[in-house]
């Protein structure tokens, strides 16, 4: 079976010791106290979304839908951070790209 892969743009910020990662392409946000846990939530929700489920259906991996205005604002922050990353590499933990693929029933992640 052919493996389908898509590139998702994710922007994240840490405020008050809570990481909020927003998937700009699928318009949902996941929050966790650690960056790695927030990334796990984004991966699981992206795979569930691509499988046809609505965001927030999976209680095990919490996510909330995000409005188009918020996504537009964060998309600008994403691209500015991406541009600034060429000058200062410390912004790497704030933005990243996630490649999510569907192969049978198992997700494929970058």
pLDDT of residue 110 exceeding 80: no
Structural domains of the chain ordered from first start: 4-104 (3.30.160)
Give the number of other Cβ atoms within 10 Å of residue 70's Cβ: 14
Cα–chain-centroid distance for residue 10?
A: 4
Give per-residue pLDDT as tens, 35-62.
888 888 888 888 777 777 665 555 566 6
DSSP 39: H
**Range 2-11 average pLDDT:** 74
Per-residue pLDDT, 109: 46
pLDDT of residue 107 exceeding 60: no
Give per-residue pLDDT as tens, 69-99.
999 998 888 888 878 777 776 656 566 766 6
- Residue 27 structure tokens: 């318009």
């Amino acid at each position: 079976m052919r493996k389908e892969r898509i590139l998702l743009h994710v922007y994240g910020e840490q405020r008050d010791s809570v990481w909020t990662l927003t998937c700009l392409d699928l318009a949902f946000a996941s929050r966790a106290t650690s960056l790695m846990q927030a990334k796990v939530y984004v991966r699981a929700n992206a795979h569930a979304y691509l499988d046809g489920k609505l965001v927030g259906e999976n209680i095990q991996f919490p996510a909330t839908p995000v409005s188009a205005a918020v996504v537009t604002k964060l998309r600008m922050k994403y691209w500015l951070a991406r541009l600034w990353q060429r000058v200062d590499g410390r912004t790497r933990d704030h933005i990243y790209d996630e490649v999510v693929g569907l192969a049978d029933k198992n997700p494929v992640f970058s």
